[in-house]
């Protein structure tokens, strides 16, 4: 059975970084194959993995509004194009949603997307969705059941409060969340008592567990600045050991 891992959190809290580190973790654990879906309008997960993107789902939706090849139905066209958009790597594939929809109704495109994603899911052990702060893409992809929701925050009172609000809206959206975790990224060491209080309160007042507090790391910053893939990060780095221990606890 395919398991769905979804990232959520306001912009700049480290969702994409967490997705890239999770990619590295699953590859090292040989938990393959898995599908990465970059559902953030500001798509850059591919950059942290050293990959180029040639076709996005946003571009496919626009093509659906135009003339289709003869003797090809819209669902056949959507399925064919999504397979073309898949970036295939050893152990995982990446699918990029691209820019949000422009004017006009894309209900049919979203329906075809949901149908195609349902077929695709059968091929993977995990599907990891790097979301925007909202989680509308999960509905569009017909992913109503989330095995793991990882809600990221920066080390600020506003970030922690936003993380709690994101956790709170999952039920009204009709999403079934089996497990949800709060991850606090780029945290100072030691944690200031006031910040720890905010974290403890958010966990106590929501359905989240504390997944981990991740320290600020020059190793990650330098890797991104150099343009090197996060998959190639050194196993011996302290931050990698911290991340691996955190994921071990979450996915054990």
If we measure between CA atoms, which residue out of 155, 83, 153, 151 comes closest to residue 123? 83
| Structure confidence at residue 105 (pLDDT) | 52
Q: What is the pLDDT of residue 60?
A: 86
Instruction: Average the pLDDT over each of 43-47, 170-174, 212-216, 233-237 and give the range with the smallest value.
Output: 170-174
Q: DSSP assignment, residue 230?
A: G
Mean pLDDT taken over the chain:
88
Mean of pLDDT values over 173-193: 92
Q: Does residue 53 contact residue 96 with C-beta atoms inside 8 Å?
A: yes
Q: Around Cβ 80, how many Cβ atoms within 10 Å? A: 14
**Per-residue model confidence (pLDDT) at position 119:** 81
> Percent of the chain at pLDDT above 90?
60
Q: Is the C-alpha dihedral spanning 98, 134, 31, 80 positive or negative?
A: negative
Residue 75 is predicted with a pLDDT of 80
Tokens of 150: 């990882």
Quick one: which of 90, 16, 94, 19 has its CA closest to 55?
A: 94
Nearby residues of 115 by Cβ (< 8 Å), 6 or more positions away: 75, 78, 79, 142
Q: How far apart are CA 158 and CA 77, in angstroms?
A: 44
pLDDT at residue 106 in the model: 53
Determine contact, residues 17/220, Cβ cutoff 8 Å.
yes
Q: What is the CATH number of the domain that holds 40?
A: 3.40.50.300
Q: How many CB atoms lie within 10 A of CB 81?
A: 18
For the residues of 141-177, what is the DSSP string, one character each? TT--EEEEEEEEE-SSHHHHHHHHHHHHHTTTTT-EE
Buried-exposed string 155-176: b where 16+ CB fall within 10 A, e elsewhere: beeebbebbbebbeebeeeebe
Q: What is the pLDDT of residue 121?
A: 85
Mean pLDDT of 14-29: 96
- Does residue 195 register a pLDDT over 90? yes
pLDDT of residue 109: 59
The pLDDT value recorded for residue 91 is: 97
* Residues 94-151: tens digit of each pLDDT: 999 876 555 555 566 567 667 777 788 889 999 999 987 666 667 666 677 899 999 9
Q: What is the DSSP letter of 241?
A: H
Which tens digit of pLDDT belongs to each residue from 207-243? 899 999 999 999 999 999 999 999 999 999 999 999 9
What's the token pair of residue 29?
């654990």
**How far apart, in whole angstroms, are the C-alpha atoms of residue 33 and residue 15?**
21
For residue 33, is the peptide bond before it cis, meaning its omega torsion is within 30 degrees of 0? yes
Q: Which residue segment(s) compose the domain that 219 sits in?
A: 3-251
Predicted confidence (pLDDT) per residue in 60-88, tens digit: 888 887 888 889 888 888 888 988 999 99
What Rg value do the Cα atoms of the chain yield, rounded?
18
- Domain total for the chain? 1
């Amino acid at each position: 059975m395919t398991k769905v891992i979804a990232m959520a959190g306001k912009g700049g809290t480290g969702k994409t970084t967490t997705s890239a580190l999770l990619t590295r973790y699953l590859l090292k654990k040989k938990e393959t194959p898995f599908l990465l879906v970059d559902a953030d309008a500001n798509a850059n997960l591919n950059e942290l993995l050293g990959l180029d993107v040639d076709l996005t789902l946003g571009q496919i939706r626009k093509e659906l509004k135009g003339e289709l090849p003869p003797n090809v139905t819209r669902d056949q066209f959507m399925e064919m194009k999504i397979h073309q958009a898949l970036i295939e790597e050893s152990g995982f594939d990446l699918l990029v949603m691209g820019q949000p929809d422009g004017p006009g109704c894309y209900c049919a495109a979203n329906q075809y997307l949901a149908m195609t994603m349902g077929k695709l899911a059968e091929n993977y052990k995990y599907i990891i969705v790097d979301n925007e702060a909202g989680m509308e893409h999960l509905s569009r992809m017909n992913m109503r059941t989330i095995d793991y929701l990882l809600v990221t925050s920066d080390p600020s009172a506003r970030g922690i409060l936003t993380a709690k609000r994101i956790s709170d809206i999952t039920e009204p959206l009709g999403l079934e969340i089996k497990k949800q975790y709060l991850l606090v990224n780029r945290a100072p060491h030691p944690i200031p008592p006031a910040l720890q209080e905010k974290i403890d309160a958010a966990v106590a007042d929501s359905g989240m567990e504390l997944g981990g507090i991740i320290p600020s790391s020059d190793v990650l910053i330098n890797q991104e600045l150099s343009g090197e893939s996060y998959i190639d990060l050194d196993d011996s780095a302290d931050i990698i050991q911290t991340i691996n221990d955190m994921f071990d606890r979450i996915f054990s």
